[in-house]
Amino acid sequence: MVKFLRKSVFWFSLFWISLSWMAVSGATFEIEYYTVPETGKTVEVAKGHINLMLWEPRPVEEVKTLLMPYGIKVRGDVANMGGYFLQLPDFMPLDEGIRLLKSLPEVRYAGPDYVIYPLATTPNDPRFPQQGLLNTIKAPDAWDITTGIPDAWVAVLDTGVRLDHEDLRDKIVFCRQGDIVDFVDNDTDPSDESGHGTGVAGIAAATTNNALGVAGVAWLPKILPLRVLSGGGGLTSWAVSAINYVTQNCPNVRVINMSFGGYGPDSMQEQALNNAYNRGIVPVGGAGNDGTETPFFPAAFDRVVAVCATHLNDQKWDYSNYGTWVDICAPSNEGMVTTSIGGGYGGFGGTSGATPVVSGVVALIASLHPNWTAEQIVLKLLQSADNIDAQNPAYAGKLGSGRVNANQALRGSGPDIAPPIISITNPPDNSSVRGGQIPFTAVATDDSGSVPKVEFFVDGQKIGEDTTGDQNNHVFTTVWDTSTASETTHILLVRAFDPVNNTSTDQHSVKVDRSPPQVLFTYPPANSIVSKTINVQISVIDNSPLKFVNLFIDGLLRQSFFSPPYVYVWDTTSVPEGTHTLMASAQDILDNPPTSATLTIQVDNTPPSLNIDSPQAGALLSGVVPIQVSATDSIGLNTVEILVDGQVVSAFGGTPPFTYNWDTMPVVGKNHRIGARAVDLAGNVASQEISVQVKNDFISPQVRFALPPAGIRACGTIHFLVDATDNREVLSVDIMEGNTLLTRLTSSPYAFDYAWLTSQEGAHSLTATASDASENTSQASLSVEVLYPQHSPPSSYPASGPLNLSFIAPETAVTDGFLIYREKGSQGFFTALNPSARLGNTFLFQIPSSALPPAGLEYIFSINSLYFTCETQRYEVASLYPFGDLNLDGKVDELDALEIGFYFGTPASSPRFKPHMDLNRDNIIDINDLNILAGLITL
C-alpha cells in the first residue's frame, strides 16, 4: 500500500503453535505456525529461520562472531543493506530466538522467515479468447501514445518464466550473464515449473503485434524473470534477496511485479522494497484472494502499489481482498487469456492476474517519462484511475483510487503532487472571542486554479464545509456559534482539497471568553495607614488580553495601564494627610462589561515625637540605671524600642510608660550609647541617641613576674611568665622594654619567650602592665642581664692527643650544655658531644684526636636552663699542620709521600708516630693516608 506522507516499520513477536514440512523444488524446510499480533492471522514460517537487520551493515564474519555465543548461524545475507538470514540451534524455540536477538543493541529488526505462495488462479472459460480487460483499461487508446520502450524492464518475481515460449522468448533479458536468478534453488536458471510466473509475464508484457498468441499491456518493455516461488510456495528471504539483487544490479528495471504474498509483515522485505522505490523502481503487489479486509503483504507495505481484482463491469471480484490499504484495481477473471506453461495460452485470474495489468501500465508510464521518480509514476497511476465506488457501494473507500486507466495515465502533464495552500484569516491565531455567531474564514489556492472544497473543524469536530467559496478572492467561510462553547481554548482547523484530493491544513488556537475581568488591590490593604512612597499594586484576572486598566485617586485618573505589571508608584507626601479613596477599573479587548475595585486608606507622613528623658547625655553611671523615654504620635504609636550600644534591650507597644532598668554591672568597657526608636502606625520613624560612661569597678589588677627570677643573667631566648589577677577580669597584660611594646597578652597563662642577640648583651628592664575592663591598671618590673657564655677558641689542634674545649655559662641555674661540631667548611652533619666534666658553670669537653677532622673544626655550644635556651656563635679551630704538607716546606709533593713512607706502618702507640701524617685519623700511618695524599699532590 503506497502512502506518501507516512513511514512505518512493523515490529512484532510471534507465538509458536505447531510444525509441518514443506518441499519446494528440492528446497526442504520445516514449517511452524504463528499468530501475527497486528492482524490476528496464523501464518506459516520456516522453523528456526530468522531474518535479521542491523542498524549499520557489518561484514558477515563479524555477524557470525556476534552470534556464535548463542549457537545461531548465518545461512545467507544481503550485507549491503545490513540484512542477514539466520538459522537457530535446534534447542531454541523461534519466539525465544526473536526475543533474544531483539534485546541486542545492534539489532534493528528480527522476525521469522515467512512462507509466501503464488496467488490462486481462477481459470476462465476457454471460449472467451478475447482479452476484454485491454478495452476496459483503455489500452488501445494508450497505445496511440506509446507502446513502451525496451529499456523499461518489468521484473517478474514469481515461479519463473518459460524461457522458450513463442510469445515471451524475445522479451526475456538478464542483468548479467551468470548471475543467480533462481533464488529457490540458488542457480542461474529461472525456468517456470508451474505456469504461474509464465502467465503473469504474458499479461504484463507478452510480445505484441507479432501475429502470435496474446497482446501484453506493455508491448516493448523487456521481462526480467526471477524465481522466488515454486509450485509449493516460497520464503520471504528468497524474495528479499531477489528485490535486493534488482536494486543493486539492474538499472533498467522500472517495475517489480509480485503476484504473491501472505499475512506476515517482514520488516526486512519492507526495507528492501523501500530501497527499490527510492532508486526509482515501482513495486506492485497483489492484494490477495481470500475476500478479507486484513492487510496482505508485501502489497500492504507503504511503498508498494496494492492491486485489487475486479470484473470487466468494474465490480469487485468476489474473492479479491480489499481495504483502506488497497491502492488501485485492475480487471481479472473474464478476459484474462495469457501465456501458459505448456507453450500455449490459457485463462488466468485472481489478483495474480490483476497485478501484472497494473505493472504493464507502470512500464508504459515509465517509458513515456523515463526521468520520473517512482513517486511521480505512482501518483500519475492513481490520479488517472476511474473511481468505481458507485459500482461497489459496499466497498466504498476500500478499492483505492479506482480501476486503472492506461489511456488517462499516459495523457496530460505530470501528476498533481502539490497540495493546496490554505490559511485561516478569522479568528486570528491566539485570539479571543466574546461569544455569538463568529465568522470562521480561510483563504485557499491551488496550482490547478480550483479548490473544490474546504472543511471547517472545531476541537476535531466538523462544523461545516464550503464547496463554492469566493473563487475570485479564494475566500471560504462558515459560522462558528460560540454562544454555548466552553470558556477555554479551542483548536480551529481548516482542510482544503484540490481536484485530485491533495489536501493541506491550517489551525489556530482561539479562546472563548464571555466573562468580565476581576479586579482587586493587592497592596496596600484596605483601611491601612501609609506614608512616604508606596507601590499601589493591582491584580486583574481575565481569560482575554486587557484593553486597559485605569487607576483613580480621589476621583482623578492617575495612570492608565495597557500591559502588566499594574503597579503605580505613589508619593504620598504630595497629598494632604488624612483619608483617601483609590479605584481601579479594567476592560478586556472583547468589550466585556468593565469592572472596578475601590480602596480607602489613610496617609500620615509625620513621624512621632520622641525624647530620652533620663539619664542625661555624658552621665557617669553605675549599678542599675532606669532609662526613661517619652513618645507621642497624632495617629498612634506602633512600637517604641530602647537600645544599648545599638542592640534592642526592650520593646514596647504603643502605650506608655517606656522605661527600662539597665543593670550596668555586667557591662564591659567605659563608653556606651543609649538609644530610642519610635514607629507610628504609618511606619514613620523617629530616633534619638546619647553617649554615657559606665564604671562599676575601682580595684586595680595584681601583677608580678613569676619567671624568671629578678636579676637573672641569661642569653638566647628567655622564658617569661607573668602572674596577673583581678577582682573581676583581667582584660590584657602589655609587656614593654622601655617604650617598646614587646607583646600584648589577653589570656592566662600570661607567658611569652623573648630572644636577645649577642649584640644586645648588657642590662635590660621589662615592665608588665595589667588592665581590667574598667581601665584600672597596675605594673611590675623585672631586670635581666644578657650575658653570652665565655669561651676562648684555640688557634689550632694540639700536636698530639685530644682537643680540649670549655665555656663558662652566665647563670648558675643551667641544667645542661653540650657541644656540636663538624669539619670546617663542610656541609655535613654536626656531631653532638656531652661535656667530659662540669665545674660549677664551667663545662669541659674533650674531642679525641681520632675524631678531629684533618682540615679543621667548626663548633657551637648549646645551653639549657629552667629560664632560657642559648646557642653561642660558631667558632673555628685550625689544623696544627697544613693538611698534606707533611715536611712543612710549603707545598704538597712527592717529598711528603716520602715522609709517609719513612713512617709507614707506625701506630699511635709508637714514639715515632707523627699525628699530622695520620691524615685519616685512624691512629696508624698506612696506605689509606698515602691514598689521601696522592689526591692532594700537584705534579
User: 501 is written with which cell numbers?
Assistant: 484530493
What is the DSSP secondary structure assignment for residue 892, as one 8-state letter? Answer: -
Q: Which residue is associated with the grid cell 494627610?
A: 577
Q: Could you tell me the CA-to-CA distances from 699 to 669, 777, 913 in Å, in that order?
A: 15, 9, 80
The H helix count followed by the E strand count for the chain is 12, 56
Strands (E), 634-792: 637-644, 647-652, 658-663, 671-680, 685-694, 702-707, 712-714, 717-725, 730-737, 740-745, 750-755, 762-772, 777-786
Q: Which residue is associated with the grid cell 542599675?
A: 624
The Cβ-side half-sphere exposure at 895, using a 13 Å CA radius, reads 8
Rounded to 10 deg, the angle between the 236-249 and 267-278 helix axes is 20
Q: Could you tell me the CA-to-CA distances from 502 to 448, 484, 494, 496 in Å, in that order?
A: 11, 34, 14, 8
Contact, 227 vs 199, CB < 8 A?
Answer: no
Catalytic pick from 49, 196, 474, 508? 196
Question: Is 352 a residue of the active site?
Answer: yes
User: 77 is written with which cell numbers?
Assistant: 545475507
Nearest to 341 by CA among 209, 511, 199: 199
Q: Could you tell me the CA-to-CA distances from 808 to 482, 834, 845, 862, 865 in Å, in that order?
A: 118, 15, 12, 12, 14
Beta-carbon contacts of residue 477 (< 8 Å; ≥ 6 apart): 439, 440, 441, 442, 466, 469
Which of helix, strand or coil describes residue 289?
coil
User: 218 is written with which cell numbers?
Assistant: 506493455
Estimate to the nearest angstrom the gap between the alpha carbon of 360 and the chain centroid.
54
How many other C-beta atoms are found inside a 10 Å radius of the C-beta of residue 651? 13
Angle at alpha carbon of residue 709, lines to 703 and 712, rounded to 5°: 130
User: 852 is written with which cell numbers?
Assistant: 678531629
Nearest to 764 by CA among 780, 779, 786: 786
Main-chain phi, psi angles of 541, to 5 degrees: -110, 125
Estimate to the nearest angstrom the gap between the alpha carbon of 193 and the chain centroid.
60
Alpha helices in 308-410 (DSSP H): 350-368, 374-383, 406-409
Main-chain phi, psi angles of 724, to 5 degrees: -130, 130
The two beta strands, 578-588 and 620-621, are unpaired
Nearest to 37 by CA among 237, 292, 294: 294
Strands (E), 200-252: 223-227, 234-235
Catalytic pick from 352, 585, 771, 774? 352
Question: Is 645 a residue of the active site?
Answer: no
**H/E element, 446:** none
Beta-carbon contacts of residue 129 (< 8 Å; ≥ 6 apart): 337
Contact, 413 vs 442, CB < 8 A?
Answer: no
Catalytic pick from 158, 182, 680, 929? 158
**H/E element, 213:** none
Contact, 307 vs 278, CB < 8 A?
Answer: no
Instruction: Name the region of 723 (left: φ>0; alpha: ψ -120 to 50; beta: rest).
Output: beta
CA 380 to CA 410: how far, in whole Å?
Answer: 8
Question: Is 609 a residue of the active site?
Answer: no
Residue type, 669: G
Nearest to 337 by CA among 119, 125, 118, 120: 125
Which of helix, strand or coil describes residue 51?
strand
CA 333 to CA 317: how far, in whole Å?
Answer: 8
Write out the catalytic residue numbers.
158, 196, 352
